[in-house]
């Protein structure tokens, strides 16, 4: 799997970079730090040494963007990142607030301004920084007016605790609503080969030059099963279906920056190698048609 040397891929100009605001440049393949926690994104990792090794390998592979959240663990992901990578030389650390945890797989929303401000303070402490590079509202809360949640993060930015602001799990209407309140530099929505539900949000991000982080980027559904389109293309490239899913995303839009997560060094290197896979126009058309079907 992944014939291209992983350690060399992200220095290749074909990977490209994206700009968050005017002062932060990130490579188009980042790392999502959700899976370095325990089962159900709850508690400590089952293999702590492997989780630490994954984090240590990230800068060696040329990745310079790490996405996490206070709810991953909760708190575990941010703490491990700080233990291994602080003081983050050359790295952009993005985190999120707005979800709470009541157990494995349970993610109640909390977009109250007071909670978001407390959540940000906690992330600042755990990450050991005075300012968070990119702070994202994890999800709208139906019990709180969206403008109040976004406004709280704007206040955190005005206080100097947040450099850039992003939003997540939003509709097109919510993106426009947030932009009236604060300068939004990124959107993080679910988007992959078989889930194109945020196509309209992605297209608006392209128009505005806003970075789009697709979560669950490896999703390929039946396309990855034997006989599926992604599986067939993967075999032709000596790659995995997951690598083809990532390569498709990188081809899909210049504002897309996938942030695949893993708790395995081998899988991390495989994900990075996907940036070097060149899909033909015919392969891209087949993936587009199959995913839309």
Residues 264 and 69: their CA atoms lie apart, in Å, by 19
Say if CB 127 and CB 93 are below 8 A apart: yes
Please, what is the angle between helix 172-179 and helix 146-158, to 10°? 40
Structure tokens that stand for 41 in this block: 């994104």
Dihedral sign computed on CA atoms, order 89, 92, 93, 97 = positive
Structure tokens that stand for 43 in this block: 């508690």
24-27/17-20 β-pairing: antiparallel
Identify the CA nearest to 271 among candidates 45, 51, 54. Answer: 54
Q: Which residue numbers are catalytic?
A: 72
Q: Write the CB contacts of 7 (distance below 8 Å, at least 6 apart in sequence).
A: 60, 61, 62, 269
């Amino acid at each position: 799997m992944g014939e291209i040397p992983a350690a060399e891929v992200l220095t290749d100009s074909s990977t490209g970079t994206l700009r968050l605001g005017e002062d932060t440049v990130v490579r188009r393949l980042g790392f999502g730090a959700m899976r370095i926690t325990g089962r159900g994104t709850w508690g400590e990792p089952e293999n702590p040494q492997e989780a630490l090794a994954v984090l240590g390998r990230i800068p060696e592979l040329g990745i310079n963007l790490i996405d996490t959240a206070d709810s991953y663990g909760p708190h575990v992901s941010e703490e491990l990142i700080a233990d291994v990578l602080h003081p983050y030389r050359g790295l952009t650390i993005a985190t999120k607030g707005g979800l709470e945890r009541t157990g494995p797989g349970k993610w109640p929303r909390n977009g109250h301004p007071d909670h978001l401000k407390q959540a940000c303070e906690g992330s600042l402490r755990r990450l050991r920084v005075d300012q968070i590079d990119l702070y994202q509202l994890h999800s709208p809360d139906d019990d709180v007016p969206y403008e109040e949640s976004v406004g709280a993060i704007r206040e955190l930015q005005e206080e100097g605790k947040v450099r850039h602001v992003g939003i997540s799990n939003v509709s097109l209407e919510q993106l426009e609503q947030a932009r009236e309140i604060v300068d939004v530099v990124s959107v993080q929505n679910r988007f992959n080969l078989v889930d194109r539900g945020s196509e309209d949000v992605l297209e608006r991000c392209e128009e505005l030059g806003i970075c789009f982080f697709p979560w669950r980027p490896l999703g390929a559904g039946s396309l990855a099963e034997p006989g599926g389109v992604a599986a067939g293309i993967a075999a032709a490239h000596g790659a995995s279906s997951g690598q083809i899913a990532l390569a498709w995303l990188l081809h899909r839009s210049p504002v897309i920056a996938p942030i695949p997560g893993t708790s395995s060094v081998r899988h991390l290197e495989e994900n990075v190698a996907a940036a070097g896979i060149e899909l033909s126009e015919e392969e891209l058309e087949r993936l587009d048609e199959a995913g839309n079907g």
